[in-house]
Amino acid sequence: MLLRYTGVFACLGFLSLCWAYKVTPIIGDDVYPFVKIGNGYYYIENNKRANWYQAYIACRKMGAELVSFETREELDAMDAYIPIEYSLRQYWTSGTDLAVKGMHVWFSNAEPLADDVWYPGEPNDAGGNERCDILIYKGTGGTAINDRQCDSVELYICEVPLPKEVSFIW
């Protein structure tokens, strides 16, 4: 009797191990490690700093891209989400003009940056060497985009349209 159940439990145990692999934990609307903000899923890196290239690689390792704010609404949603005490923090986005100088596009989808996402007076290509775009605080008016040197070491935000799966073993 006991022996028979032992066999059944061993079998179930093996199956549950198979099922546990690559389970996507869902917490509310969030899909770990991403948080749902508006229609998108984002990973906001508030500890590790990296240059633009390193930040992009870090996002790709998560199956994501550096964030692209295709609309002012998406930017406003992020601004509303980031706590006020983080308001002086700055985060890399996928925006860059590395392909064609002066033509800033979201690297994740090649769409040009909309005029209304820029901080007033930006992009200014200060020193002739600002090719990567960063989210900065604009005071009470919310956040906006500034071009900055790509090797500057900053925080970053990754974005994925909808997380497919996250490797996770219980």
Residues that bind Ca ion (CB under 5 A): 68, 122, 124, 126, 130, 146-147
Amino acid at 35: V
50, 78, 97, 122 from 30: Cα distances, Å? 25, 15, 32, 33
Output DSSP code: residue 90.
-
Residue closest to Ca ion, measured at CB:
147
Whole-number minimum distance, CB 144 to Ca ion, in Å? Answer: 11
Which residue lies nearer to Ca ion by CB, 135 or 155?
Answer: 135
| CB 119 to Ca ion: min, Å | 8
CB-wise, 33 or 38, nearer to Ca ion?
38
Q: How far apart are CA 28 and CA 133, in angstroms?
A: 31
Question: Residue 22 or residue 101: which is nearer to Ca ion going by CB?
Answer: 101
Judge residue 33's burial from the number of C-beta atoms within 10 Å of its C-beta, 0-12 exposed, 13-18 middle, 19 or more buried.
Answer: middle
CB of 42 to Ca ion, least distance (A): 9
Question: In angstroms, what is the minimal distance from the CB of 123 to Ca ion?
Answer: 6
Distance of CA 153 to the CA centre of its chain: 16
Shortest distance, position 83 Cβ to Ca ion, whole Å? 20
Which of residues 108 and 155 has its CB atom nearest to Ca ion in the complex? 108
Nearer to Ca ion, 12 or 99 (CB): 99
Extract the tokens encoding 167. 């490797």
Query: What are 156's strand-pairing partners?
Result: 45, 92
CA 28, 41, 158 angle in degrees (round to 5)?
135
